[in-house]
Amino acid sequence: LIQLFRPLDMLGMVYRTVRQGLIDMAEMFRLIDTETEVKDAPAAPALVVRQPTVVFDDVHFGYEPDREILHGLSFEVPAGKHVAIVGPSGAGKSTIGRLLFRFYDPWQGRILIDGQDIAQVTQASLRESIGIVPQDSVLFNDTIGYNIAYGRGGASREAVVAAAADASIMPFIERLPDGLDTEVGERGLKLSGGEKQRVAIARTLVKNPPILLLDEATSALDSRTEQEILATLHRVSEDRTTLAIAHRLSTIADADRILVLDQGRLAESGTHAELLQARGLYAEMWARQQAERSD
């Protein structure tokens, strides 16, 4: 009976959070048989990732036919590099993440991973290769081990422990009465924002994806916890191609490249130092956020 109700339980929780952006879209696709707008091409091959380079090539996209949101966006995230996207609210940052995960197809232009058009490969293989660390994760009413293993169906206990250790949540789990078998969520232990975030990171790591999509992964945390989580994310994204969508600039100042998006167009790009020197939109946003911080 529990097996029967578990999907319903999850569905409720997923439903409550679906609207918040990139939140656990992989889970949502897996759980709900939605009529999505995108379909696999007939006899589509699987995505094969050797050099996980991500390319947006002249991408035009809008949610409604008469309102284009991205106006011919082109950029590259070289394999293993860390690129951050910043920009004012409504600029289209989260939209880029949704397109990369192929929640929608571009109106025009292409998105390539390792030279393959993501619209031409199976959605399952695409989503397998991208790990999302969302703003706020869905935790299921189940054990902490189950919540981590959920990143990859059939993950072994060893893989779960390794991912938990990598996400620096193992010391916390070891202190729990039943370790990995401790129940969490509405029926069990309540986790703090930072602990939830680490479970989400472990869940992503258990997939071992070559590409990471970080959606302002630390927004709901106090500054000390935020610093600790950032250090963990920094470590786990070292060998992975990483696209970070950020609202606060302090979290991405060390990115290899920062793209500044404004009203669906690339306004500027460069390193933190280069952008400060350019005295453009980024420098303005940086000055504003520094002033807010000191207040």
- Which residue from 69, 79, 266, 275 is in contact with ligand ATP, where contact means CB under 6 A? 69
- Which residue lies nearer to ligand ATP by CB, 135 or 141? 135
Is there binding between residue 227 and ligand ATP (CB under 6 A)?
no
Matching residue, tokens 């950020």: 246
- Which residue lies nearer to ligand ATP by CB, 90 or 115? 90
Is there binding between residue 94 and ligand ATP (CB under 6 A)?
yes
Is there binding between residue 237 and ligand ATP (CB under 6 A)?
no
Matching residue, tokens 């952006």: 21
Beta strands in the chain (DSSP E): 54-61, 70-77, 82-86, 108-113, 116-117, 130-133, 211-215, 241-245, 257-262, 265-270
Is there binding between residue 63 and ligand ATP (CB under 6 A)?
yes
- Which residue lies nearer to ligand ATP by CB, 99 or 169? 99
Structure tokens belonging to residue 280? 């453009």
Is there binding between residue 240 and ligand ATP (CB under 6 A)?
no
Q: Report the C-alpha gap between 161 and 202 in whole angstroms.
A: 9
Q: Any idea what the Cα angle at residue 97 is, between residues 134 and 251, rounded to 5°? A: 55
Is there binding between residue 89 and ligand ATP (CB under 6 A)?
yes
Is there binding between residue 95 and ligand ATP (CB under 6 A)?
yes
- Which residue from 82, 93, 127, 196 is in contact with ligand ATP, where contact means CB under 6 A? 93
Of 259, 207, 275, 229, give the one whose Cα is nearest residue 54: 259
Is there binding between residue 252 and ligand ATP (CB under 6 A)?
no
Q: Report helix, strand and coil shares of the chain as percent, to nearest 5.
A: 40, 20, 40
Is there binding between residue 92 and ligand ATP (CB under 6 A)?
yes
- Which residue lies nearer to ligand ATP by CB, 5 or 63? 63
* Exposed e or buried b per residue across 221-251, where buried means at least 16 C-beta atoms within 10 angstroms of its C-beta: beeebbebbbebbeebbeebbbbbbbbbbeb
Beta strands in 122-256 (DSSP E): 130-133, 211-215, 241-245
Cβ at position 16, least distance to ligand ATP in Å: 17
DSSP state of 280: S
Give the count of residues interacting with ligand ATP (CB under 6 A): 12
Is there binding between residue 185 and ligand ATP (CB under 6 A)?
no
- Which residue lies nearer to ligand ATP by CB, 94 or 225? 94
Instruction: Tell me the window of 63-71, 131-139, 171-179, 194-202 that interacts with ligand ATP (CB under 6 A).
Output: 63-71
Q: Report the C-alpha gap between 116 and 29 in whole angstroms.
A: 22
> What is the binding site for ligand ATP (CB under 6 A)?
63-64, 69, 87, 89-95, 247
